[in-house]
Amino acid sequence: MEPLALHATRRNRPVAGGLLVLASALLFAGVGAIVKAVAADLPIEVVVFFRNSMAMVFFLPWLMLRQRDLSLRTGCLHLHLLRSAAGLGAMYCFFIAVKMLRLADAMLLSYTLPIFIPIIERFWLKEAVSRQTKIAVIVGFIGIALILKPGSGLFQAAGLAGLASGLLAAFAMVGIRRMTVTEPVARVVFYFTTFGTLVSSVPLVWAWETPGGHLLWALGVMGILAIMAQMCLTKGYSLAPAGQVGPFNYGNVVFAALLGWLIWGETMDGLTLAGAVLTCSAGIIATYHSERHMKS
């Protein structure tokens, strides 16, 4: 769910970029649906491990073929560790939320990261936040409150796990932004994929269950779709500024709602729908004004 080309050369092709980001949203929704299906029969620890190990299987050959001159030496290992911990934590929280919530709710809560990013940038990177972005953040939290419904509904462990996935993903994104000043994107991905696979293998000591044939196929497809989604997202962000293509990420919520309805008969109530509109609108506004602020 993270764009890897935050500092890639930007071209003025917003239509192509937007379509690629929209394609990635559809693919990520498919990943979420597969996670929800397989998590009914497998521990989350096993699903997370396969998500990371599949990425490693596909990424390493690409790295050897396309990035032969890449040096893996780094002067900011602590930032790689922080980014990897945040990214892996976001993945665990997201998979827990997908297993226990409606698919669209889990996707929506995980996509709250544009609301958290300005706050983290303000306190971590000491960057100023525009007035419009502050308003968007407030609106976003109102939307989150409508979705979580304090006192009932999703305001339980599963809902908070979904929200935590958005917060941790925001930390990972800000960490990527700070590192890519000196670190090439491929090196950042290498360390995250490596650490993610190694760390997610540890819980298998007590949580391992051998996937059956159909589950193994589903986990393989999940890994392929995740890689394809990441490639589309990366390419999309390389073709146009985030403020132009970022809003297409929220197509994920629409696709997830459609898949949830078709497969599990899931529907949204009125308050959740209103919260979704506010949260998505706030995320789009925050992304747009953050992009403009970075250019000014």
Residue 5 lies in a domain: no
Residue 245 lies in a domain: yes
Residue 9 lies in a domain: no
Q: Given phi > 0 = left and psi -120 to 50 = alpha, else beta, which region is 208?
A: beta
Residue 1 lies in a domain: no
Report pLDDT for 295: 55
Residue 4 lies in a domain: no
Q: What's the rounded Cα separation, in Å, for the pair 223 and 31?
A: 8
DSSP for 112-148, please give it. THHHHHHHHHHHHS-----HHHHHHHHHHHHHHHHHH
CB 177 within 8 A of CB 64: no
- What is the Cα Rg of the chain in Å? 18
Per-residue pLDDT of the chain (296 residues; tens, 9 = 90+): 544 444 444 456 778 888 988 998 899 999 999 999 999 999 999 999 999 998 888 877 877 777 777 777 888 888 889 989 999 999 999 999 999 989 999 999 998 888 898 888 888 877 777 888 888 889 988 888 888 876 555 557 888 899 999 999 888 888 877 776 778 877 888 888 899 999 999 999 999 999 988 999 999 899 889 888 877 887 787 777 666 777 788 888 889 999 999 999 998 888 888 988 998 888 888 877 666 555 55
Q: What's the rounded Cα separation, in Å, for the pair 91 and 48?
A: 7
Q: What is the model's pTM?
A: 0.86
At residue 99, what is the residue type?
A: K
Q: What's the rounded Cα separation, in Å, for the pair 90 and 118?
A: 18
* Host domain of residue 277: 14-295
Report pLDDT for 5: 43
Domain count, the chain: 1
Residue 266 lies in a domain: yes
Residue 235 lies in a domain: yes
CB 219 within 8 A of CB 47: yes
Residue 114 lies in a domain: yes
Report pLDDT for 4: 45
Report pLDDT for 247: 79
